Chains A and B, each alone.
Chain A
Amino acid sequence: MAADRLKVGPIMCHAHGLCAELLPEMVRLDEWGYPILADGPVPPVLRSDARAAVAACPTLALRLRSD
C-alpha cells in the first residue's frame, strides 16, 4: 500500500491552523501560525485524523499525497 505523505501548499496556506488542532501529532505551528509538518509518511493510526485535517483546511492548502 502506498504511503501517504502530508504536503502543504505554501502559497495557499493562510495560517488558519486547523491542521495543528486536528493533527498535533504531525503538525506544529511556527511563531507566525504556519504549519511545520513532521517528516515521513502518515502512520496508519493517524490516517483518519490526517484526512480530517485535510478536509478541514479552510484554504485546501493541506493535501495527502501517496507516493
Chain B
Amino acid sequence: MGQTLWFASRATGLVSLLLLTATVVLGASHSGRVATTRWPRFTLHAVHRNLSLLAVAFLAVHVATAIVDPYAGIAWLDVVVPFASTYHPFWLGLGAVALDLLVAVIVTSLVRTRLPLRVWRAVHLASYALWPVALVHGWGIGGSDSSLSWVLALEGLCLAAVVVAVGLRLRATHPDSEARR
C-alpha cells in the first residue's frame, strides 16, 4: 500500500474543503435570497444540500484513510475528541472540532422539519464557524503540501469565495426583513 492511504486522505481532505466551500457559498447565497431565472432558489437549495452530502462522503473517506493508515497512528477517538491525539494534537484537534460541528449540522438538517426552527437555525449557523476551522486544520496539518503554491492558491480562493459570499449575505436586504426590523 505504501503511501497510497496517506495520499488518499490528503486528497480527499482537500476535495472536502472545496465541497464545503461551495456548500457555504451556496448556503449564504440561498439565505441571502440570491436567485436568477436560471438559478431559482430551489436549485440553489438543492445543490447546497447535495454538495453538503457529497462533502460528508469525501470526509468519511478522508477520516477513514487517515485512521487506517498506520503512519500517523491516529485512533478512532482522535477524530471526534478534539486535541486528544498524539499526532499534531492541535491541527488534528481542529479537524475533530469541524467534524463534530458538521455532524451536528447535517443531523439537524436531516430532521429539520421536526425541529423548532430556532434550534435548527442555531445549529446551522455553526457552519460559519466550522468552515474556517476546517480550513485552518487543513493548512496546519498539511505539512509540506501546505507550502505548495497551488494548494495555497486553492485555499486562498476558497477563503476569498467565502468572504465574498458572507459579505454579500450580510449586506443582503429584502422588504420582509426590513419590515421586521
Residues of A within 8 A of B30 (CB): 58
Cβ–Cβ contact B41 & A16, under 8 A: yes
Chain A residue at smallest Cβ distance from B43:
A21
- B172 → chain A, closest Cβ, in Å? 12
Alpha-carbon distance between A54 and B112 when the two chains are bound, in angstroms: 10
- A17 on the B face (CB < 8 A): yes
Cβ–Cβ contact A58 & B31, under 8 A: yes
Cβ–Cβ contact B176 & A21, under 8 A: no
Alpha-carbon distance between A22 and B45 when the two chains are bound, in angstroms: 11
**A56 touching B176 in the complex, CB below 8 Å, given contacts A12-B117, A16-B33:** no
Cβ–Cβ contact A15 & B40, under 8 A: no
Contact of A60 among B31, B42, B117, B177 (CB under 8 A): B117
- B115 → chain A, closest Cβ, in Å? 8
Chain B residue at smallest Cβ distance from A55:
B113
**A interface residues, how many (CB within 8 angstroms):** 16
Cβ–Cβ contact A18 & B45, under 8 A: yes
Could you say which interface size class chain B belongs to? 10 to 19
Cβ–Cβ contact B45 & A14, under 8 A: no
Chain B residue at smallest Cβ distance from A32:
B175
- A59 on the B face (CB < 8 A): yes
Interface code B113-130, partner A: CB below 8 Å = 1, 0 otherwise? Answer: 100010010000000000
Alpha-carbon distance between A56 and B40 when the two chains are bound, in angstroms: 13
Contact of B176 among A18, A33, A54, A55 (CB under 8 A): A33
Chain B residue at smallest Cβ distance from A59:
B117
Chain A residue at smallest Cβ distance from B42:
A21
Residues of B within 8 A of A33 (CB): 175-176
> Could you give 12 example pairs across A and B, Cβ below 8 Å?
A14-B176, A14-B177, A15-B176, A18-B45, A21-B41, A21-B42, A33-B175, A54-B113, A55-B112, A56-B42, A56-B45, A58-B30
Chain B residue at smallest Cβ distance from A61:
B117
- B171 on the A face (CB < 8 A): no
List which B11-58 residues lie within 8 A (CB) of chain A.
Answer: 30-31, 33, 40-42, 45
